[in-house]
């Protein structure tokens, strides 16, 4: 399905191929960057979760229409948005081998958004740390230059002291001769 940011549709109505309401979109599952599967829950007390591949799905402004009849959708007992190996085995068996996946291959939109947010925060922190490292390197270079200059100044002062002591010794010697 080629819909950009399909995860933003969470909460919209999901219709079957005949226009019958399936439920509300509760999660989008991605394989890499490709959305491949959704879960929809009806509003009844049972809160059954239906898992539907996005193959052939059509998006409009107000709803997502899947390419399967409502009575042909996989229902799972699992109420949360995490997919189990059993859920995915049922999906593969029901919709065909093309929909075979392991839980670690699919990522829900919430987990994906959190991962992207964490990556952006880590990237921002890395940039800040790099800037700090560059500043510290500049400070270290500046301190090293000041240390070289201070060493040269100390050596010059030592030579001037030795020259002054030598002149003082000569002056005492001249004064002692007179």
Q: Where are the chain's structural domains?
A: 6-105, 109-178
Quick count: other Cβ atoms within 10 Å of Cβ 58? 13
The predicted pLDDT at position 9 comes to 83
- Residues 6 or more apart whose CB falls under 8 angstroms from that of 120 comprise none
Residue found by looking up tokens 């996005």 in the block:
54
Which band of pLDDT confidence, cut at 50, 70 and 90, is reported for residue 97? low
- Contact between residue 110 and residue 25 where contact means Cβ atoms under 8 Å apart: no
> With a threshold of 0.75, does the pTM exceed it?
no
Q: What are phi and psi of 49, to 5 degrees?
A: -100, 130
- Contact between residue 38 and residue 29 where contact means Cβ atoms under 8 Å apart: yes
Buried b (16+ CB within 10 A) or exposed e, 89-119: eebeeebeeebebeeeebbbbeebeeeeeee
Quick count: other Cβ atoms within 10 Å of Cβ 36? 18
- Which has more confidence, 26 or 4? 26
Which band of pLDDT confidence, cut at 50, 70 and 90, is reported for residue 106? confident
The predicted pLDDT at position 107 comes to 86
The predicted pLDDT at position 83 comes to 77
Which band of pLDDT confidence, cut at 50, 70 and 90, is reported for residue 86? confident
- Contact between residue 87 and residue 34 where contact means Cβ atoms under 8 Å apart: no
Class of 6-105 in CATH:
mainly beta
Tokens of 121: 């925060």
């Amino acid at each position: 399905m080629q819909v950009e940011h399909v995860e933003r549709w969470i909460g919209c109505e999901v219709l079957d191929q005949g226009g019958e309401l399936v439920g509300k979109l509760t999660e989008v599952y991605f394989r890499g960057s490709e959305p491949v599967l959704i879960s929809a829950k009806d509003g009844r007390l049972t809160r059954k979760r239906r898992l539907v591949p996005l193959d052939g799905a059509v998006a409009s402004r107000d709803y997502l229409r899947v390419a399967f009849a409502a009575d042909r959708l996989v229902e799972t007992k699992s109420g949360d948005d995490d997919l189990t190996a059993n859920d995915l085995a049922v999906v593969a068996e029901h919709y065909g081998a093309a929909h075979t996946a392991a839980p670690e291959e699919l990522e829900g939109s919430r987990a994906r958004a959190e991962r992207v947010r964490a990556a952006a925060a880590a990237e921002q922190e890395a940039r800040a740390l790099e800037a700090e490292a560059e500043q510290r390197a500049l400070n270290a270079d500046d301190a090293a230059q000041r240390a070289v200059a201070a060493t040269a100044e100390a050596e010059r002062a030592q030579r001037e002291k030795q020259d002054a002591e030598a002149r003082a010794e000569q002056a005492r010697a001249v004064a002692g001769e007179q």
